[in-house]
Amino acid sequence: MLYSPKPMHVPDGFLSVPVAISLWVIAIIAVASALRQSSRALDERRVPLMGVLAAAIFAGQMLNFAVAGGTSGHLMGAALATILLGPAAATLVLTAVVGVQALVFQDGGLLALGGNITNMAVIGVAVAFIVYGAVSRIAAEKRWGILAGGFVAGWASVFVASLAVAIELALSGTSPANIAVPAMGGIHAIIGIGEGLITAGALAFILATRPDLLDAGTRPSAGTRPVWIAGIAVAFGLAVLAPLASVKPDGLEWVAEQTGFLDRARGPLFSILPDYSVPGVENSAISTIVAGLAGVLLVLGVAYLVGTARRRRRTET
């Protein structure tokens, strides 16, 4: 049976106004810092990879996978983006993905957007960067260290980001910390295993085909056109598979149902492609696929334009 992906990010109503505004401030400062740092870190061969990776992460997030306990998880992508691009560019990639999801697909609230950016593009990326770096140093840059580092960084990025959400819910008065923290942490400790496996699998493929891309601080030794062509093909393929996504509630929705604050969610102020569907298209599978392909192209363009602008700024100064 085919389904449509469900919204996955923090909706409006879960966070209090003061907490949401505070998270917006954190997100703005972090993204501004990432913009400055990326101007120095990006070269002309890595800029297209920003767009391709953003598109692939967007499409991958549409494919919720079922996990134990009647819930589902989805790719966050912070670890993979951080390992391939470095933390500054990864923050911009995740911000582009989360921003498009909120503004176009009504996935996550507008007031809560600062929180979603902070949790995934800032906290998730920072945790992945620290954990992957630590494992890489322990492994002395051996092959197993890359894969183990990717797995642990992927798991940790999801787990710590979920704890951040739990604390934000507690500070908002939505759910007490002694309930929200163990509930969010427990289910996302399981979901994080899927993130870790996906990250390690992607790194294994890259290690076998283009290991030069795994050093985010150096210029790729060969042209990246085949890489981004293959990446776009993968993103399109994932979007086509999106109707197969699990309809089980994701970790946050599951916790909200179990602990009794799901009814605090507020609907979007406007609707463009709500719930990853195209209004007026009756076939749900086709509607989801068209919406997904549109999202892939949009996220690809946004991330690429941001990277190009930062690269151009560096060359002009």
Q: What ranges do the domains of the chain cover? A: 17-316
Residue 202 has pLDDT above 70, yes or no: yes
- pLDDT score of 231: 87
Mean pLDDT of the chain: 89
- pLDDT score of 287: 93
- pLDDT, tens digit, for every residue of 111-139? 999 999 999 999 999 999 999 999 988 98
162 class by beta-carbon count within 10 Å (0-12 exposed, 13-18 middle, 19+ buried): buried
Q: Which residue reads 């509607």 in tokens?
A: 287
CATH domain 17-316 topology: Arp2/3 complex 21 kDa subunit ARPC3 (1.10.1760)
- pLDDT score of 1: 45
Query: In the numeric block, which tokens belong to residue 136?
Result: 């890489």
138 class by beta-carbon count within 10 Å (0-12 exposed, 13-18 middle, 19+ buried): exposed
Distance CA 187, CA 181 (A): 10
Do 77 and 91 contact (CB within 8 A), yes or no?
Answer: no
pLDDT band per the 50, 70, 90 thresholds, residue 212? confident
Q: What percent of the chain has pLDDT over 90?
A: 65
Question: Of the ranges 38-52, 68-82, 87-101, which is most confident?
Answer: 87-101
- pLDDT, tens digit, for every residue of 55-86? 999 999 998 888 877 888 889 999 999 999 99
Distance CA 162, CA 206 (A): 28
- pLDDT score of 157: 98
Residue 268 has pLDDT above 80, yes or no: yes
Residue 237 has pLDDT above 90, yes or no: yes
